[in-house]
Chains A and B, each alone.
Chain A
């Protein structure tokens, strides 16, 4: 499978960042920050926290750019995993600090569960991997897609999903199972 042009450009930037090129770092930020900030917002659901997640993630990218070549992921996925990991750190930390907080359902999730939102895809930027996943996710019903997405992005168990989404546990389990089954048969075509 050939490497995407946008991937190649980002990989070149990451290589330059690894050799402490500040201009390349700024360029990498300019090209990826909005997407990664959107991801951070989706995970932590709080502007201030998401800014902190983005900040720590980019500091990590700056410090670990030299390690990127050892990863097999496309560059956006690599940075996305860093943001997810930092975001989950923040969530775990906040849960530890405030055990009695009930999280409101965010607007995006509400809309998606109501059935009128789909995953966006930035064609100019997305890796082939993301495009395949996007197409396969698009075949799921909105509810299944949202539950699968949230399980992954926020690292939630069946039970936690049921609580956060105010859904019966059995419903969540069924949607996840069907969602994954469909993703599996769809993704197999891109393997």
Chain B
């Protein structure tokens, strides 16, 4: 049917299309006609525009102040990531100021990448929603774990720092939160990684200057708590987890095994 010759029917279909109540085969047929006939396309667009005003007609409700705080943090991380990407693109090679240890240098180079990734992951994790399809599917497969973690986080208003540590494929593997009141770092395993019986995972702070500093060795349980002072955490942009011999290695020598997970530490609200 040439809908252009049936203005009443066209208007009715276009209105239902824009409203969302035109479904199934009728919707597909309408879309097909819209691609072929400009009048149909125009009617659909006109109705979409009219109805879009509906979004302005809801009661205003002031959002809780921490929502802005969360948005602000994510935007700051975005800016930081863009800045570092820009610096790298401009050829400012990392590691020219000092000659740090091998893996430490590579971590510095990866920092921009990790930050960019953590923005996506954090958003996902905080909200339990969209962004990258791959991560989304993965999150779904992780079941309610992240939601539980979010609930825990929101139930503890003192949580001032969060990090999502990712493996090299950007899979979220460890959720880290810091509670300054209890001076406790909580680590929750969200991936399925399990070290072998003769190995331990060790958490490191990577301060802007100086070498890595051990924050502790993780047990095998899903949720691990480590004691840490505010000073240990406040000025640290990045956390990393390395695979070490059972019981871990001394802090002074730095990690000896491969770095499995890393991620930016971000101040959370408050």
- Could you tell me which A residues sit within 8 Å of B by CB distance? 20, 22, 25-26, 29, 33-35, 37-39, 41-42, 48, 51-56, 58-59, 62-63, 72-73, 76-77, 79-81, 83-84, 86, 89-90, 93, 96-97, 108, 119-122, 125-127, 129-130, 132-134, 137, 148-149, 151-153, 155-158, 176-177, 180-181, 183-184, 187, 191
Contacts and interface: CB of A to CB of B under 8 A. Distances in A.
Given A34-B60, A80-B52, 12 more contacts: A22-B75, A52-B129, A62-B71, A77-B53, A90-B129, A93-B130, A126-B57, A134-B57, A157-B20, A177-B12, A180-B16, A183-B50
Given A39-B55, A72-B49, A151 B21 contact: yes
Contact of A33 (B55, B68, B154): B68
Contacts of B60: 34-35, 37-38, 120, 122
A156 B20 contact: yes
Q: How large is the interface on B (under 10, 10 to 19, 20 to 34, 35 or more residues)?
A: 35 or more
Contact of A59 (B55, B57, B71): B71
A153 B54 CA distance: 8
B73 to A, nearest CB: 10
Main secondary structure on B side of the interface with A: helix
Contacts of B74: 55, 59
Contacts of A33: 62-63, 67-68
16 contacts: A22-B75, A25-B75, A38-B60, A42-B58, A48-B154, A63-B78, A76-B56, A77-B56, A80-B55, A81-B52, A130-B53, A133-B54, A149-B54, A152-B51, A157-B20, A176-B21
A40 B60 CA distance: 10
Contacts of A72: 49
Interface of B: 11-12, 15-16, 19-21, 23, 46, 49-64, 67-68, 70-72, 74-75, 78-79, 123, 126-130, 140, 154
B55 to A, nearest CB: 3
Contact of A133 (B57, B70, B129, B154): B57
